[in-house]
A and B are shown apart, each in its own frame.
Chain A
Amino acid sequence: MSPEVLKKQNRTALLLMVTAVLLVAILLSLPAYVFRAGVYTKKSSNTVVGDEKYLSVLDEVNAVADEYREKGFDVSVSESVTERTNSKGETTSLVTFNISQEFTRNGWSFLGAGLSSSLILVVLLSCTLLSLACAVAGSLGTMEDLPRRLDACSSMLRSAAGFFALAALILVPVFVMNNTVLFSRKLSLYNAGTVTDGAEAFYRKIGAFLFGDSAGEDPSGALKGLTFHSTAAIWLTVVPLFIMILAAIQLRHGSISETLMRGLLYAFVLVVCVVTLYPYYVMLVSAFRSNAETNDMYFLHLLPTKWIWSNLQDIVNRGVLRYLLNSGMIAGGATLIAMLCGIPAAYAMARMNFKGKKAFLGFVIMSQMFSPVVLLIGIAQLMSTLKLNDSILGLMFINAAFNQAFAIWLLRGTFVSISPEMEQAAKIDGCNTMQSLLRVLLPMAAPGIVTTLIFIFINAWNEYTISTVLISTASNRPITVGITQFSSFNMIEWQYLFAASLLATIPVVILFMCIEKHLVSGLTSGGVKG
């Protein structure tokens, strides 16, 4: 690109940035929120319009309204009547009086209001200005004698311009959401008296923001029944901010589509990770709440007010460690047995030719087609015949058998993908089949074997239904059955259920983390050739 074109590009980009900042400023001065402050609400049940009770309440309401007018509010009084005829033919009515006023506030009015939103707005605006400043600073001196390559400093400044614009962009929804929390959620909780901590300070700030000085010392009365709706003004600032990002990319001489794709990639990965981790977040925060807080119907706290670590102690006292140990033994034993039986079978399938090979593969898949739930009676009969009911050993064999198909399919794939030449060489050196398998093939197939191990371990670790029926001694239960004691006839103890679930998940996750690398490479061989 010629210096002339570059120069022109840079100028346009800078111009765009300035325009965007101006646009943001304009958008912030448009009306953003329309509040309707129900200054005073009075409900009077069993009241008929015109009767004595009605008149006395009406007087009361008018007196209050006058009081507000004296303070400088521009209030109006409205009343609504809900009339019902009850089953006995009597008319009952509920009269609701409302003294209210409408206010409009724009983005700028948040500045200096001392609310948390004000702080966010300040940061947002600073980011916007910083972005512009960085863009200008990064272009200084390079505009006239455009060098082909930007020096490190101006390159960094131009990148910073992009990042500041991105930060501002992200802060827009944060600002909007924070306002919703303030004016809808927190206010309604304080109004209902569900939360009282810090109510005074909160009312004072919101009151000052909405009414200025007219609300007086205690604006709480004026804030009852506040409703609001927002215009699109704040959301629209996203557009100029996005333009700023594009301009910054342009300044950096980057490819816009590539940078955006990259950004999308990160955004996608971020979303996936957040969604995936969400249930675990729920488990974590619920596991350490108090019993009462797990059923918090007012949604008061994102996080436990007090982290009750003793919940862990409680579930340990109720035998959870023992159950974890049992699960570990069952899963470990099952994995061992499944591998001992599966490796020779898979070896035969991969390296030998014989009649019925395909039939055997089909049989293996077919054996997976019954859910263990369906086979309960058969399994229970079998285990009592073998005297293996109520034993961990029995569960090992059952789990091993139900994972044979998996083991054989995966291992066979792994073995097939490994060239037989090495084994043949070993045989020429005097090894028998068994030795060549143990010394040559298995070490080479390690990733696939590890994968299979993990699969079977997890399946066995998570098995539930068969254990419920087979195990009758509490001390033999695996963790999946053990946690059922937390949901009883009288109540569900969510906090214990989740604490135990978390404990049951951690070992498997750690196992996974250690093995992740092997997992993918192992599946490669298993999947492709399987």
Chain B
Amino acid sequence: MNTLNSKRRWMPYLWLLPSIVLMAIFVVFPIAIVFKLSFSEISKSGIVGGFIGFKNFKDAIGLPAFKTVMVNTFWWVLSVVGLSTVIGFALAMVLNQKFHGRKIARAIVVFPWATSLVIQASVWNYIIKFEYGNLNNVLLNLGIIKQAINWRSSYTIEFIWECWVGIFVTIPFVTFCVLSGLQSIDASLYEAATVDGAGFWDKTWKITVPLVKPSLTVSTVLNIIYVFNSFPIIYTMTKGAPANKTDTLITYLYMLNFYDRKKGPATALSVIGFVILCICAGIYMVTVMRKEEEE
């Protein structure tokens, strides 16, 4: 009896073991090293020295570009996650309708997901080049514009383009999460609502949104994490130029680490980013999930 009981108690952990071992070795260990590094002195070439307390963190916060970068990161995450959620949601609603060619449309929508970010960013970088970019080529040769347009005339516009590429590659994920949620909704709910005289918006807000919310929650949390940590788009398109004005936290700390060789503050910044992310994602998850449980 006793052995059976203890077996039952230990069984779950045994099932978790492979996963835990894998993550402990390959994820937790490197994370631990980052934490250790953030409190250590690191030379310009990367030699790790002794413990120096919070000096790296102080240096990081004192960096002149720190504020700009934080503000950029905020806009980056907000616009990419927010807009891709809105557009993805709308797209999923449309793709859930019955129409000719729906299968093809669904397959096409998934494309941006299937291409790596480095490639996607390179292509868009090429597309919006003023002098020989493909966007000008197409618009000119189709007669939509009369003269080539400089699509990246200021850094604000360049940042908007970077956000667009971020949105572009994030939409498929949201769309498919919502689409899966939509498919599970019972059609009779809508019929009943129609009988009660509900309009399109009523049905959207009162039936669709609440029922799709759980799948949106998961996709939003994962999106916040992925977008916050997204590196190749900005690195490929502007490298943060001019003077970190288009950098987000992650590209900034990369530049700081490998170009400016301020490796200590760079490591500290990555820990700061982690904490911010934990807090944001944590708050979001707790509030949303608590609400769901209440409902």
Contact = CB atoms under 8 A, between A and B. Distances in A.
Q: Do A and B come from one complex?
A: yes
A340 B18 contact: yes
A524 B184 contact: yes
Interface string B246-270: 0000100110000000000001001
B54 interface: no
B114 interface: yes
B122 A497 contact: yes
Interface in B1-44: 9, 11-13, 15-23, 25-34, 37
B92 to A, nearest CB: 10
B129 to A, nearest CB: 9
B83 interface: no
A265 B94 CA distance: 7
Contacts of A516: 103, 106-107, 110
B226 to A, nearest CB: 8
Contacts of B116: 461-462, 464, 480, 504
B270 A374 contact: yes
B78 interface: no
Contacts of B148: 299
A102 B85 CA distance: 53
Contacts of B131: 295, 297
B201 interface: no
A19 B219 CA distance: 53
B252 to A, nearest CB: 11
B225 interface: yes
A489 interface: no
A377 B33 contact: yes
Nearest to B254: A373
Contact of A185 (B91, B101, B122, B143): B143
A401 B111 contact: no
A483 B177 CA distance: 31
B132 A368 contact: no
B137 A299 contact: yes
Interface stretch (B57-65, B68-76, B186-194, B274-282): B274-282
A520 B181 contact: no
Contact of A279 (B94, B127, B137): B127
B84 interface: no
Q: B interface, by DSSP: helix, strand, loop or mixed?
A: helix
Contacts of B232: 464
Interface residues of A, number: 102
B255 to A, nearest CB: 11
Nearest to B105: A269
Nearest to B211: A528
Contacts of A309: none
A519 B274 CA distance: 31
For B111, B113, B119, B176, the residue with the greatest tally of chain A CB atoms inside 10 Å of its CB is: B119
Interface of B: 9, 11-13, 15-23, 25-34, 37, 46, 91, 94-95, 97, 99, 101, 103-120, 122-124, 126-127, 131-132, 134, 136-138, 140-144, 146, 148, 176-177, 179-181, 183-184, 214-215, 218-219, 221-222, 225, 229-232, 250, 253-254, 267, 270, 273-274, 277-278, 281, 285
Interface of A: 176-182, 184-185, 262, 265-266, 268-269, 272-273, 276-280, 282-283, 285-286, 294-297, 299, 301-302, 337, 340-342, 344-345, 347-349, 352-354, 357, 360, 364-371, 373-375, 377-379, 381-382, 397-398, 400-402, 404, 406, 408-409, 458, 461-462, 464-465, 480, 483, 494, 497-498, 501, 504-505, 508-509, 511-513, 516, 519-530
